[in-house]
Amino acid sequence: MTGSELRRSFLGFFESKGALVMPSDSLVTSDPTLLFTVAGMVPMVPYFLGEQTPPRTSVATVQKCLRTKDIDDIGDTSHCTFFEMLGNFSFGDYFKTEAIAWAWEFLFDVLGLDLKRVRVTIYKDDDEAYELWRAAGMPANKIFRFDQDTNYWPANVITEGPNTACGPCSEIFYDTQPHLPPTPDGEWDDKRWLEIWNNVFTQFWRNDGGVMTPLPKKNIDTGMGLERTAAVLGDHRGPFETDLFAPTLARLQEIAGKKYTSTDDSPTDIAFRRIADHIRATTFLIGDGVMPSNTAQGYVLRRLMRRAMLAGRRVLGIEKPFLAEAIPAIVEQYKDVYPEVLEKRDTILRHAANEEEQFSKTLATGTTRLDSVLTNLKAGDVVSGKDVFDLATTYGFPVEMTAEVARERGLGVDLATYDELLADHEIISKGGVEKQVMVANVAVQMLRSGNVAETHFLGYAEDTSSAKIVGILKDGVLVNSAQQGEKVQIVLDQTPFYASSGGQVGDTGWFTSPDVSFEVEDTQKESNYFFHVGAVTSGSIVTGGKVDARIDSARRDAIRRNHTTTHLLHKALQTVLGDHVHQRGSLVAPDRLRFDFSHDSAMTGEQIREVEAIVNEKILEDIPVQTFEKPIAEAKKMGAMMLFGEKYGDVVRVVQAGDYSIEFCGGTHLQHTSQAGLFKIVSESSSASGVRRIEAVTGKPALMRTLDQERTLMTAASTLKTSPANVVASIEKLQSQLREREKELAELQRAASGGQVEELVASAREVGGVKIVNYQAQGVSDADAVRTMADEILNRLKSGVVILGADIDGKVSLAIKVSKDLVEKGVHAGNVVREAAKVAGGGGGGRPDFAQAGGKDPSKIGEALAVAERLVVEAVGG
Ligand code: ALA
């Protein structure tokens, strides 16, 4: 059975049992606790938690998933980072009886697996599951009981939390090596027993202290690995031998000119599997809109790409860029099931090529940096964890490379300290967020269990409203009242306050009543509960009380200006730079807006001015801004711009500025574009690889900025004693005068140092027939000047050695120059300078006839020069 047949067979089977087949969701999830979709259930979480109604209570999917927890194992025969998960889900529909009976039917009647090679595990107390497996036909000695670390989902939830819907699970294993003697009960040799399917019986709500309450509606969540099951069906050792990987491995073998022989532990085979896995993940990640960068998802992608490139270069000996050569085989393989990889083919290949080019450069700079770290070490020493960490994080130089180069030179590497530093590193800790848990916001659960209705938002039309206090949260728990001075979060039945979302910051403002005043410092929302964060400024606030809620309207007006203008800016950027421009992030605050968008290179001054001009033109056109709600399909048809990684409901809000801009957006906007007043771009910079960032201002801040700049110009003009129009000409004139003066000064200095050179040549000492000038120069501006001086002295000496040292801004600079005849006699400037520099706390080297080095300790210059001279004398046999 091929991978495609298995997908069809699974979906068809559960469809015949009443399931609705839904398409795969993106690899990039909107769940803030996860970086990626790690299981088929991730897109289903809102249904499990009752936050949304599923389109049907029984669902089946094939979901694209990514797990990088085992990244270091990739290359073995069973693990994949990217994989497809076949899943069937019940939201209060069927439960354990059907789930187990159907699992049996699918495994043995449909797939025709050999019962002799199958075992199942259940949670230790789940007698119900035991009886159901027995009833289905599973022999008792094939059912194993285990604890919550393996047989609960989420793992260890009973003792460790979180408080969420959870339950015992039953995993199905297949024997990949039936010729071996039976595995003793309770032992799980991972190479032999391959987990292919997990059935989770989501039947409890976990409360504080691990108290489990049965859920009124029980759920089913299952996950079967497509790749692993395909391997089992073909009686292969693992996923990489199935048809799912065949074209990729074939292409990689062509590129490398080496054979994949399907062994467990040959380094070449491990490299082939690692590359095949990582470039498949790369293809799907970029296909889902991720771009290589140094944070979050982009960082994981970059890491996968770099590991693939390293394995290709170091193990397979591929010398030229190869990712973009191999990826088309993957696109071809998956384009029918996941059309996005075909649609994004060009983008995927472009990023692959760019990243590989950049990586070559990184390897080159990293190698130079590594050399300078290693010069001061001798065989047996250990490269410090800090150096390894700096190389990895600052230079992007892979730790595997550092370790390998160090090993070649007989050096150790302090990987323990490196690991510690890495663990503290923010990026990595973010990259490590892969807890397979459903995190429910505790506050929301409490409100829900108290039957508190979600907040009704009035703020599109109103700045004020009367409202009822329906919840007061203090330090995460619901309380009945709060007194003057207390900081709490208030939930109202209805509110004009906008809660931070879609980049727009939350509103601030006030609640007042005869009994209380409350100052709102921020507004946040979870599900659709709005939390007004702030402090009681007088009186006391009580649940059930009534207040007048009023937002800071002036602040909100400024936010509206920035939000509507952000839409105009988005469109203008597409006009000026091209359709590839898409929003990657945005901040809409009262004082400024920040907009991150996909674009590979820095904008030119010309482009920035053009964008600024277009946006200001659109402001002047006074275009009416309208908002309306539409079914999503209709909104898409109107051409409304959707945002990357956002989840939209069936009905979406659309914001339209005439026929110029139309976007999906939940934010608050102007009524007419002219209310923005004026638009000024403050900066354009890089925010991540392939992402640019614009910061800009509108309204009063834009005006103030313009007035300030005018004032600066006026001051500059009066300082230059000229008019604003002549400021530039006047500066140019000053600059050219300055250049003249510098030239004159340099000539004077040369004349003076010429005299000094003469003196030094005259004072050369002769040791064993060799003329040596050894001198600590004063008042030298840089290392180049030291070099020039050494050149000039040796020119006059003809035959001899020049040893110069200087203190340049508190740093040591040394130069050794050796005439050709003495080089032939064995004097080596590079060797001499290396030893001399060590004395002054530095390092360096160079050619036999000329070498320069630096050092940290200027008080040691004299000593360093003496060492150099001694070495020269020794070399000439003096
Ligand atoms: N959510 C369960 C898993 O991924 C089915 O193993």
CA distance linking residue 571 with residue 584, whole number of Å: 14
Per the DSSP assignment, residues forming a β-bridge with 588 are 504, 593
C-alpha 50 – ligand 1 centre gap (Å)? 19
**Residue 282, phi then psi, degrees to nearest 5:** -55, -45
Q: Is the pLDDT of residue 427 over 70?
A: no
The residue whose C-alpha atom lies closest to atom 3 belonging to ligand 1 is 223
For ligand 1, what atom is nearest to the CA of residue 223?
5
C-alpha 717 – ligand 1 centre gap (Å)? 70
C-alpha 820 – ligand 1 centre gap (Å)? 74
Q: Which tokens belong to 39?
A: 């299981």
What type of residue sits at position 495?
T
Q: Is the pLDDT of residue 169 over 70?
A: yes
For ligand 1, what atom is nearest to the CA of residue 87?
5
CA distance linking residue 230 with residue 237, whole number of Å: 11
At which residue do the structure tokens 């790409």 appear?
305
Which of 29, 198, 202, 220 gets mutated to test ligand 1 (max ligand atoms within 8 A of its CB)?
Answer: 198
For ligand 1, what atom is nearest to the CA of residue 41?
1
Neighbours of 35 (CB within 10 A): 22
Please compute, for residue 658, the number of CA atoms within 13 A of its CA located in the half-sphere on the CB side: 12
Which protein residues touch ligand 1 with a CB less than 6 Å away?
39, 41, 153, 198, 200, 221-223
Q: Is the pLDDT of residue 9 over 90?
A: yes
CA distance linking residue 534 with residue 857, whole number of Å: 55
Q: Which residues does 806 contact at the CB level (< 8 Å), separation at least 6?
A: 776, 777, 778, 780, 786, 812, 813, 861
Sheet with 679-688, strands from edge to edge, namely 583-588, 593-598, 691-698, 679-688
Per the DSSP assignment, residues forming a β-bridge with 479 are 472
Got the DSSP string for 799-816? SSEEEEEEEETTEEEEEE
Identify the weakest region by mean pLDDT among 96-100, 312-316, 634-638, 827-831.
Answer: 634-638
> In 3-state terms, what secondary structure has residue 626?
strand
What pLDDT was estimated at residue 216?
A: 81
Which of 65, 67, 83, 436 gets mutated to test ligand 1 (max ligand atoms within 8 A of its CB)?
Answer: 436
C-alpha 174 – ligand 1 centre gap (Å)? 17
C-alpha 527 – ligand 1 centre gap (Å)? 24
The residue whose C-alpha atom lies closest to atom 4 belonging to ligand 1 is 39
Q: Is the pLDDT of residue 399 over 60?
A: yes
For ligand 1, what atom is nearest to the CA of residue 171?
6
C-alpha 199 – ligand 1 centre gap (Å)? 7
Between helix 267-287 and helix 345-375 the angle, nearest 10°, is: 130
C-alpha 122 – ligand 1 centre gap (Å)? 14
CA distance linking residue 764 with residue 802, whole number of Å: 9
Which of 151, 153, 435 gets mutated to test ligand 1 (max ligand atoms within 8 A of its CB)?
Answer: 153
Which of 41, 44, 173 gets mutated to test ligand 1 (max ligand atoms within 8 A of its CB)?
Answer: 41
C-alpha 295 – ligand 1 centre gap (Å)? 27
Give residue 436's pLDDT band: very low, low, confident or very high (50, 70, 90).
very low
For ligand 1, what atom is nearest to the CA of residue 221?
5
Q: Integer distance in angstroms from the first to the last C-alpha of the chain? A: 83
Cα dist from 74 to 259, 282, 434, 829, whole Å: 19, 14, 17, 48
**Which CB contacts under 8 angstroms, 24+ apart, belong to 512-519?**
512/547, 512/548, 512/550, 513/539, 513/545, 513/546, 513/547, 513/548, 515/539, 515/540, 515/541, 515/542, 515/545, 516/540, 516/541, 516/545, 516/547, 518/490, 518/547
For ligand 1, what atom is nearest to the CA of residue 222?
5
Strands (E), 618-678: 625-631, 651-657, 661-664
**Residue 122, phi then psi, degrees to nearest 5:** -135, 165
For the stretch 685-734, pLDDT in tens is 987 778 899 999 999 999 999 999 999 999 999 999 999 999 999 999 99
Which of 169, 196, 228 gets mutated to test ligand 1 (max ligand atoms within 8 A of its CB)?
Answer: 169
For the stretch 457-483, pLDDT in tens is 999 999 999 999 999 988 767 788 999
For the stretch 237-247, pLDDT in tens is 889 999 999 99
Identify the weakest region by mean pLDDT among 348-352, 438-442, 525-529, 542-546.
Answer: 438-442
Confidence (pTM): 0.53
C-alpha 28 – ligand 1 centre gap (Å)? 17
Q: Quick one: 745 exposed, middle or buried, by C-beta within 10 A (0-12, 13-18, 19+)?
A: exposed
Give residue 643's pLDDT band: very low, low, confident or very high (50, 70, 90).
low
Identify the weakest region by mean pLDDT among 129-133, 149-153, 376-380, 604-608.
Answer: 376-380
Mean pLDDT of the chain: 89
For ligand 1, what atom is nearest to the CA of residue 85?
4
